[in-house]
A and B are shown apart, each in its own frame.
Chain A
Amino acid sequence: MKLNSPLQVYKYLPQINCAECGDATCMAFAAHLIDRSKKLDDCPPILKDEYKKKYLELQALLAPEIREITIGTGEHAKRIGGDDVLYRHQLTFFDPTAFAYDVWDTMPEAEFLERINRIANFRKFYVGKFLKVDMVAVRCVSGDPLKFAGAVKKASETTKLPLILCSFDPAALKSALEVVRDKNPLLYAATEKNWGEVAELALNYKVPVVLFSPDLDKLKSLALSFREMGIKDLVLDPGTYPQGKKLKETFEKFIMLRRAGIKEGQKDIAYPIMAVPLNAWLVYKDAVTASYWETVLSSVFTVRYGDIMILHSLEPYAMLPEVHIRDTIYTDPRTPVKVAPGVNEVGSPTKDSPVIVTTNFALTYYTVESDLSSNKINCYLAAVDTDGIGVEAAVAGGQLTAAKINDTFQKANFDFKDKTSHGTLILPGLAARLQGDVEDVTGLRVMIGPPDSGRIPGWMEKSWPPKPK
C-alpha cells in the first residue's frame, strides 16, 4: 500500500469517532487499516455518497502492492496475491499460496472422480484448525475440446473447489469455459502465440487468466497488453524449470518479479506468481523421487513468492510437508501462536501419572507434548493461558502465576483428589520460583521439573513417583 502511517489514513476518514467500526476513534481504525487487520468497508459512514471521493482515493492508496485476485465462487473461492512486503517479519504475508492438484481429461472416470475427492477431502489437523488444499487443475491431455469440456464439467459437478482450466488451445479453453462460465475458473494460459484469442476469452467470460512466458520481457509485454485490453486479473507464470541452472534462473525470476512489484512499485508486473512444481514429473519417472522433488520445489516457491501452484503428487508424504511449510510462511508473526488453555491427556494417564504444567504458547506446548508422547510418558499436561508467551518470559512478565495455574485446573474441572493418587503438580524448571505460591494457592504438593522438557524422561526416573512425605 502507498500509505505507512495512521495519520495519513486518518486524513481520508470521516473523523467523527462514531465507533461503528468497533474502534473507539477514527485514528484507531486508521491504525487497523495500516496493519491490514480491518478493511475500509468496515467503516459504514465512508460508504455514504458524501464521502465517495475520499473512499475511492483511500481505497486506491490502501490497495496492496501485489494485485489481489479471486478464483472460484462462494465459500471455496480463494484469493491470491495481496502482498505488501518481501519478508514476513515486516508485516505478514497475506493470501496463503493456493495449492491446485491436477486431473486430466484422459483419465478413466472412476479414477478421475476418486482423485478429485482425495484432493477435496484432504485435511490435516494443526493448532486448532485443519490444513487443506484449495483447487483442482484440469489438464487437457486429449487435445480434444469436447473431451476437455466433458472433464471440466465432471470436475465442477464433483467438487466446489475452484478450477484451473489448463490448455494452450483457445478452442479447448472456450469449450471448457462454456460449461463453467459462472464458476470463475482460472484460465491457463495465454502465451506469445495464442494471446489474442485467450484475451478474447478472458474478456468475454470475465475470468482471471495466467500469462506464461519464461522470458520476463515477453511476460511483461503480455501483462501490459492484457492490461491495455482491460484485463486486470492476471497471474504470471515465468515457467518452473525442474532442474539445474534453469531452476536457479526460475528462482531468480520469482525474486525479480516480486522485488519489482513490491520494492520498486512496478505496477505493470505486480501480479500473483504461479509455480508449477508438477514439472518435477517431467524429469523423474520414479514416483517417490518425483514426489520428493516436487515437494522440494513447492517448498522453495512457497517460501519465495509463489502465490499459486500446480502440483501432482497426492502422496501424504508430499502433501503434509507442503501444507505445513505454507502454514509456516503465512502464519501471522505479529500474533503469538497459542493453543487452547486446558488440561490435556498425553497417552493414557492413570491415577499414578504425573500432572505437568506448561504454557499455552504453541511452540512450548507442542515441544513439551512431543517430548512426553515420544517418550511414552502417560500424564496430564496443563496449558495455562499465558497469552501465548513462553514459560520464562511469562514468569517474568506475570502471565504465569499461581492464580492462573489454579484457574486452569478449576476451569477444566480437574479435581486432584479424584484424578490422582498423589495430589502433586509438576512445575517447569524455569518457573521454580512460583513453587511456594502455587503450594499456597492450590494446597497441592508442588515439584519442580527440569528446565527443558527434553529432560523429563531422566527426571522421571529419578523423581517419580514422589516419595511419601
Chain B
Amino acid sequence: MTKKIKLSELGNLFGGLDVQALEGVKIEGDVEIDLGQMGMNPQMAYALGHETAQLALHLMNISRILGYPVDQMLGASPAKPARLTKLIESKFSVGKIEEWKTPIQEVVLGATSSDGGTRKSTITLGGETALPYYFDSPMPHRNHITMDVFDMPINMAKAVKSNYEDVINSPAEWAKKVVRDFGADMVTIHLISTDPNIKDTSPAEAAKTVEEVLQAVDVPIVIGGSGNPEKDPAVLEKAAEVAEGERCLLASASLNLDYARIAEAAKKYNHVVLSWTQLEINAQKELNRKLMKQCNVARENILMDPTTAALGYGLDYAYTNMERMRLAGLSGDAELNFPMSSGTTNAWGAREAWMVSSPLKEDSDWGPREYRGPIWEIITGLTLSLAGNDLFMMMHPTAVQVLKEITQTLYGGKESEPVNIDNWVGAVL
C-alpha cells in the first residue's frame, strides 16, 4: 500500500503521543518528505532529497532530531533492509570431517645401519588422517622428492639436459649431483638400458649400476626398470638382491607383468613395492589386493602410483583419480589407504614444456620455453600434491626447489617475514 506522509504529519502523529520507543514500526512504500516546513539547511535537504533508497535511514535521523529514541529501535526492529550504523557481530566456525577415520598407511623408505642397511637416514611417507594441508589434522610427514637418474644418456628437453651434461654418462656422479646440488631427498635409478629394444643390458650388469648409486649417495633410492613387462621382473629381482636390506622402492609391479616375482624379491630382500596402475581406481584396488592377499606383501611395504598425466594431457583424470583414492582411503577403504607416488617428470611430455613455440599461429606467443618447462613440472606436481600425492619423481632442479617450497609451506614448515597485504591495491609493483 502506498501511503504519503509529510514530515509535519509525522511530527503531529508522534507529537500527540507519549512515545518512548518506536517498536515494530515499518516504513514502506513511497514517502514524500516535505522539507520546507522543517527549516533544514540546504545541504541536508539535498542529501535527503537525492537518494530515495536512503529514506528509511533518513527518516530515523529526522525522528532523532525530533527527539524520539530511534537508536533503541534500531537494534530492536531491523524489519526492513536498512542502513546499519554498526556491523552485525558474528562468529565463524566450521566442523571437521567425521568420515576421515582411517589413517593412510605409513611406509618407511631406506634403512640405516641399525636396521640392516647403509643409508644415513630414512624417509617416512603416509600417516595422513585428512586431505593434505587441511586443518582437520596436521600431516605427520612432509612430501618428498626423488630425482631421476638414468643408466644411459637419454633424450631430454633442452632445459633439463643443460643441468646434466657433465654427469650424463655416469649414474653415480649424476646421483651425487642431484643430492648435493639440487636437494633431492632420494634418487631414482632408471635402468632403461635393460629394455631389449634399447640396449638389452643384462640384469647382472644393471645391478652393478644400482650398487654404484648406493655407494655414491646415502639417501634412500628408488630402483626403476625399463618398463618392459617381460624384462622388468628379472631386472628388479637382481637389483633387489644386490641392494638387500636397503628398503629401496621397486618400480614397479603392475597388472601386465609378473608382479608376484617383484613382490617376492621385495619380501626376500627387504624392499618396498610400487604398485602401479593406469588411471583406474578399480585396477589399483585389484593390484593392491593381489599384492597383499596373493603375494603376502605387508601393508607397510606398499606404495602406489596411480599414474601421472601432464598438465593439459589428462591431469584432470590423474588428479581426480588420486583424490578419489585418498578420500576412499581416509574413509576406510583398506585397499586404497596407501601413500602415493607420482612420475611428475611426465610433465615434460607436454609440448608446452619443451616446444620452441606454438605450432598454431592463432595462439598468443608462448614465450621462452626455458621458463615454460619447469613451471609445467611444478604445476603438475603441485596439483597432485593437493590430491594427496606424497612422493614426487622429478627432473628439473628449479621445479624441485619450487615444489618443495610450496608443499613445505602448505605443510606448515616454512616461516616468513610478516607481509602486510592490507594495501596491495595501491602497491607499486
Q: Which residues of A are interface residues toward B (Cβ below 8 A)?
A: 87-89, 106, 121-126, 130, 139-141, 143, 166-168, 188-189, 192, 195-196, 199-200, 203-204, 214, 216-222, 224-225, 228-230, 239-248, 251-252, 255-257, 259-260, 264, 266, 268-269, 276, 278-279, 281-283, 288, 292-293, 295-296, 299-300, 303-304, 312, 315-321, 324-325, 327-329, 331, 333, 337, 362-363, 366-367, 370-371, 373-374, 454-455, 458, 462
B89 with A221: CB separation less than 8 A:
yes
B92 with A269: CB separation less than 8 A:
yes
B residues less than 8 Å from A299 (CB atoms): 379, 382-383
B residues less than 8 Å from A203 (CB atoms): 53
A260 with B416: CB separation less than 8 A:
no
| B174 sits at the interface (CB 8 A) | no
0/1 interface trace, chain B 382-416, chain A, CB 8 Å (1 if under): 11001000000000000000100010011110111
0/1 interface trace, chain B 315-339, chain A, CB 8 Å (1 if under): 1110110011001000000000000
Main secondary structure of the interface of B (DSSP, over half): loop
Closest B residue by C-beta to A455:
B197
Instruction: Given the known inter-chain contacts A125-B360, A204-B53, A244-B415, please indicate yes or no for A370 contacting B313, CB distance below 8 A.
Output: yes
A281 with B427: CB separation less than 8 A:
yes
A247 with B410: CB separation less than 8 A:
yes
How far apart sit A168 and B78, CA to CA, in the bound complex (Å)?
28
| Partner of A256 from B135, B323, B429 at Cβ < 8 Å | B135
Instruction: Given the known inter-chain contacts A123-B363, A316-B365, A320-B366, please indicate yes or no for A219 contacting B92, CB distance below 8 A.
Output: yes
A residues less than 8 Å from B352 (CB atoms): 320-321, 324
How far apart sit A270 and B186, CA to CA, in the bound complex (Å)?
43
| B82 sits at the interface (CB 8 A) | yes
CB B416 to nearest CB in A, in angstroms, measures 3
| Partner of B412 from A126, A228, A248 at Cβ < 8 Å | A248
B419 with A283: CB separation less than 8 A:
yes
CB B356 to nearest CB in A, in angstroms, measures 12
CB proximity to A under 8 Å, residues B29-51? 51
| Partner of B383 from A214, A244, A303 at Cβ < 8 Å | A303
Closest B residue by C-beta to A330:
B316
Instruction: Given the known inter-chain contacts A229-B83, A370-B349, please indicate yes or no for A245 contacting B367, CB distance below 8 A.
Output: no
- 5 contacts across the A-B interface (CB closer than 8 A): A217-B91, A220-B91, A221-B89, A279-B424, A329-B319
B382 with A300: CB separation less than 8 A:
yes
A residues less than 8 Å from B14 (CB atoms): none
| Partner of A252 from B134, B227, B414 at Cβ < 8 Å | B134
Closest A residue by C-beta to B412:
A248
Closest B residue by C-beta to A223:
B90
Instruction: Given the known inter-chain contacts A124-B363, A195-B87, A366-B313, please indicate yes or no for A328 contacting B319, CB distance below 8 A.
Output: yes
B197 with A458: CB separation less than 8 A:
yes
How far apart sit A245 and B309, CA to CA, in the bound complex (Å)?
30
| Partner of A251 from B78, B81, B133, B351 at Cβ < 8 Å | B133
Q: Which residues of B are interface residues toward A (Cβ below 8 A)?
A: 51, 53-54, 78, 81-85, 87-92, 94-95, 97, 133-135, 197-198, 227, 309, 311-317, 319-320, 323-324, 327, 349-352, 354, 358, 360, 362-368, 371-372, 374-376, 378-379, 382-383, 386, 402, 406, 409-412, 414-419, 421, 423-429
| Partner of B426 from A141, A225, A268, A325 at Cβ < 8 Å | A141
Main secondary structure of the interface of A (DSSP, over half): helix
B88 with A228: CB separation less than 8 A:
yes
B residues less than 8 Å from A192 (CB atoms): 87
A residues less than 8 Å from B198 (CB atoms): 458
A316 with B364: CB separation less than 8 A:
yes
How far apart sit A251 and B411, CA to CA, in the bound complex (Å)?
11
CB A262 to nearest CB in B, in angstroms, measures 11
A248 with B133: CB separation less than 8 A:
yes
B406 with A296: CB separation less than 8 A:
yes
A residues less than 8 Å from B379 (CB atoms): 295-296, 299, 321, 324-325
Interface centre among B87, B135, B362 (most CB of A within 10 A): B87
Instruction: Given the known inter-chain contacts A252-B135, A256-B94, A374-B354, please indicate yes or no for A300 contacting B386, CB distance below 8 A.
Output: yes
A292 with B375: CB separation less than 8 A:
yes
Name the 7 nearest CB pairs between A and B, nearest first: A244-B416, A316-B367, A230-B81, A243-B416, A317-B371, A363-B314, A216-B92
B429 with A124: CB separation less than 8 A:
no
A246 with B419: CB separation less than 8 A:
yes
How far apart sit A196 and B327, CA to CA, in the bound complex (Å)?
43
B residues less than 8 Å from A292 (CB atoms): 374-375, 378, 402
Instruction: Given the known inter-chain contacts A288-B371, A458-B197, please indicate yes or no for A296 contacting B134, CB distance below 8 A.
Output: no
A328 with B316: CB separation less than 8 A:
yes
B414 with A225: CB separation less than 8 A:
no
B372 with A196: CB separation less than 8 A:
no
A282 with B81: CB separation less than 8 A:
no
How far apart sit A304 and B418, CA to CA, in the bound complex (Å)?
24
| Partner of B375 from A260, A318, A454 at Cβ < 8 Å | A318
| Partner of B51 from A126, A204, A324, A462 at Cβ < 8 Å | A204
How far apart sit A167 and B360, CA to CA, in the bound complex (Å)?
39
Instruction: Given the known inter-chain contacts A299-B379, A374-B349, please indicate yes or no for A140 contacting B309, CB distance below 8 A.
Output: no
Interface centre among B319, B367, B418, B429 (most CB of A within 10 A): B429
B residues less than 8 Å from A454 (CB atoms): 227
A199 with B83: CB separation less than 8 A:
yes
Closest A residue by C-beta to B130:
A255
A260 with B360: CB separation less than 8 A:
no
| Partner of B421 from A240, A300, A320, A363 at Cβ < 8 Å | A240
B312 with A328: CB separation less than 8 A:
yes
CB A220 to nearest CB in B, in angstroms, measures 4
A243 with B419: CB separation less than 8 A:
yes
CB B143 to nearest CB in A, in angstroms, measures 14
How far apart sit A292 and B400, CA to CA, in the bound complex (Å)?
13
Closest B residue by C-beta to A325:
B379
A123 with B362: CB separation less than 8 A:
yes
How far apart sit A390 and B187, CA to CA, in the bound complex (Å)?
33
B419 with A279: CB separation less than 8 A:
yes
Instruction: Given the known inter-chain contacts A248-B410, A328-B383, A367-B313, please indicate yes or no for A125 contacting B363, CB distance below 8 A.
Output: yes
CB A133 to nearest CB in B, in angstroms, measures 10
How far apart sit A292 and B367, CA to CA, in the bound complex (Å)?
14
Closest A residue by C-beta to B313:
A366
| Partner of B406 from A224, A281, A300, A363 at Cβ < 8 Å | A300
How far apart sit A91 and B419, CA to CA, in the bound complex (Å)?
38
Closest A residue by C-beta to B197:
A458
A228 with B424: CB separation less than 8 A:
no
B320 with A89: CB separation less than 8 A:
yes
A282 with B427: CB separation less than 8 A:
yes
How far apart sit A276 and B428, CA to CA, in the bound complex (Å)?
15
B residues less than 8 Å from A167 (CB atoms): 425-426
| Partner of A260 from B92, B417, B419 at Cβ < 8 Å | B92
How far apart sit A192 and B88, CA to CA, in the bound complex (Å)?
11
B residues less than 8 Å from A122 (CB atoms): 364
A residues less than 8 Å from B378 (CB atoms): 292, 295-296
Given contacts A245-B416, A316-B364, 8 further A-B contacts (CB under 8 A): A123-B362, A125-B363, A130-B362, A225-B88, A247-B410, A251-B410, A325-B379, A328-B315
A221 with B316: CB separation less than 8 A:
no
A residues less than 8 Å from B54 (CB atoms): 200
